[in-house]
Structure 1
Amino acid sequence: MPPSPSPSPTPDTPRPTYASLLAEGTAVPTEGWDFSWFQGRATEARPSWGYAVSLAGRLAGARAALDLDTGGGEVLDFALERAVRRPVLTVAAEGWPPNVAKATALLRPRGVAVVAVAEDRPLPFADGTFDLVSSRHPVRPRWTEIARVLEPGGTYFAQHVGPRSAFELVEYFLGPQPDAVRGARHPDRERADAEAAGLEVVELRAERLRMEFHDIAAVVHFLRKVVWMVPGFTVEAYEPRLRALHERIASEGPFVAHSTRHLVEARRPAP
């Protein structure tokens, strides 16, 4: 989401109705990872490490690069545009068909091959193909496959969603979650899984970041876009909670939550 809000409406500007906000949040397309629609409606602080810019530097030093869970290709496109040199081979993998189409349209002009890969299938690449594998917010890191397609000495560089990310919003709709759910995606667990796959974790940094939702349209669009937050979310199923949250935002101000992110750098040891 955008890092800072737009100016608030002036006192003379009529406020949108609850019904119009629901309709707007429901109508916005959800393909890709472009969050520009949220400008002025929701904000999220950015991690201090600047993942996309850092990825540009990694791409400049790579020979063959693979970007996993590329979404609509927006982050990879940003990084390639800023890389002082591009890899000889760059491949992007994505599992959701609407995102595959969007990423192909965006990345093909840059010479990137976009491959459709289902989450439950092995990566369709030979062992040791890439010296750089990257991912921003993978659905689930596939450590064994990452280690397999990396060449000895190759690097996995990624930004992951951490534990309890936006859980204030999740638990508003779903109620208190079991400890196992709340602790999922913990960086310590991911370190152990990466090492079990044969990777050496070089760096692991975590941050907790403030999020603000300024209207109910932003909440609706966010939950439609980030579907694993409230599985099966529909406006109809959660209408009473949405109405109550709309009234709360109108009377108290933005709904505040916190995202968690961690930066991961792991290496496949050389012989």
Structure 2
Amino acid sequence: MSIRPTHAGRPFGELVAEAAAAPVEGWDFSWFEGRATEERPSWGYARAMGERMGRASAGLDLQTGGGEVLASAPELPPLIAATEGWPPNVAKASALLAPRGVVVVASPEGAPLPFADGTFDLVTSRHPVKAPFAEIARVLAPGGTYFAQHVGPSSVFEVVEFFLGPQPEEVRRGRDPRGERAEAEAAGLEVVDLRAERLRIEFYDIGAVVHFLRKVIWMVPGFTVEAYRPRLLELHERIAAEGPFVAHSTRHLIEARRPRAL
């Protein structure tokens, strides 16, 4: 989907300064309106997650960000918790979700989940850095489900490689859904659905690129405007001359169940 860009004709310094000052907490992407577009996966993760939460008795949302996706669920289970590892997001998610009875727990990525075995019949996550399948299997009740949308391999690598250069093949293959299926099965889960799509992204001005790299910090680790100013200026001039910078995200939907007898 394309839109009419509303900021592309503005000066480089103005666009970059505005993007560098914009807040990046949470997973609210409304700042990109008029600046960038991204196709959405056909399966409608937020809607499908909300339907499952409405039927669950105990739910857990992993790496919830600012809680925006979980908050979109029309109904939540009687027992509902979320984890998040980045302190600014913990505060934002707590403020958003506490009125709906969600306990937001600060839990660093890679740490054991702070919940008892078999607590939840539904675990969800949208774009986890890495899904901890062994821990997910442990906290799921027998017959419980992990339902998530993951980032796939080489996602938005047009942007990554513009700034970092060509990446090793093992990096490009990271997050492969086939590998994640194997990890889930090794943890004792049964994968019942796995779908992948490649989706078009258009960046209409350099401010959108700066905001994206500040928000999705693992794309170009250590990104700052000062460190990458020459490349940013080059990309700004390219967008001005050629139109939107096009990239592609990859996403996969995964649904896995804990057997009733592990």
TM-score, length basis structure 2: 0.97
RMSD: 1.2
Q: Is 1:222 aligned to residue 224 of structure 2? A: no
The partner residue of 2:55 within 50, 61, 69 is 61
Match of 1:167 in 2: 157
Give the equivalent residue in structure 2 for 1:22.
Answer: 16
Structure 2 distance, partners of 1:63, 1:14, is: 48
Match of 2:27 among 3, 17, 33: 33
How far is 1:15 from its partner?
3.0
Q: Distance in 2 between matches of 1:173 and 1:250?
A: 18
For residues 17-62 of structure 1, the C-alpha deviation after alignment (integer angstroms, 9 at most, x for no partner) is: 1000110110011100000000010110000000000011101110
Answering whether residue 231 of structure 2 is matched by residue 241 of structure 1, we say yes
Shift of 1:14: 9.6
CA distance in 2: counterparts of 1:94 and 1:202, whole angstroms: 26
- The alignment partner of 2:117 has SS state of coil
Q: How many angstroms does 1:196 deviate by?
A: 0.4
Letter in 1 for 2:200: R
- Alpha-carbon deviations, 1:134-183, whole Å to 9, x = none? 00000110000000000000000000000000001100111100011000
* CA–CA separation in structure 1 for the residues paired with 2:2 and 2:45: 18
Contact 2:5–2:35 at 8 Å: present in 1 too? no
- Cα distance change, pair 14–141 in 1 and its aligned pair in 2 (3 A): closer
Shift of residue 120 of structure 1? 2.8
Equivalent of residue 96 in structure 1, options 86, 89, 105: 86
1:66 corresponds to which letter in structure 2? L
The CA distance in 1 between the partners of 2:236 and 2:68, in whole Å, is 31
Point out the more displaced range, 231-240 or 14-23: 14-23
Q: Distance in 1 between matches of 2:222 and 2:8?
A: 33
Partner of 1:155: 145
Task: Return the alpha-carbon distance in structure 2 between the equivalents of residues 206 and 15 of structure 1.
Answer: 36
C-alpha contact 2:8 2:204 (8 A) present in aligned 1: no
TM alignment of 1:49-198, pairs within 5 A: 49-79=43-73, 82-83=74-75, 86-198=76-188
Amino acid at match of 2:32: F
Post-superposition offset of 1:8: 3.8
Tell me which residue corresponds to 1:204: 194
Among the aligned pairs, what percent are the same residue? 70
**Dislocated runs of 4+, deviation >2 Å:** none
* CA distance in structure 1 between the partners assigned to 2:187 and 2:23 by the alignment: 37
Counterparts of 2:91 and 2:2, CA distance in 1: 30
What whole-Å deviation, never above 9, does each CA across 1:209-229 have from its counterpart, x for those lacking one? 000000000000000000010
Q: Secondary structure at the match of 2:59?
A: strand
Structure 1 stretches of 5 or more lacking a match? none
Equivalent-residue separation in structure 2 for 1:142 and 1:97 (angstroms): 20
Count of residues paired in the alignment: 261
Report the CA distance between 1:88 and its aligned residue.
Answer: 1.1
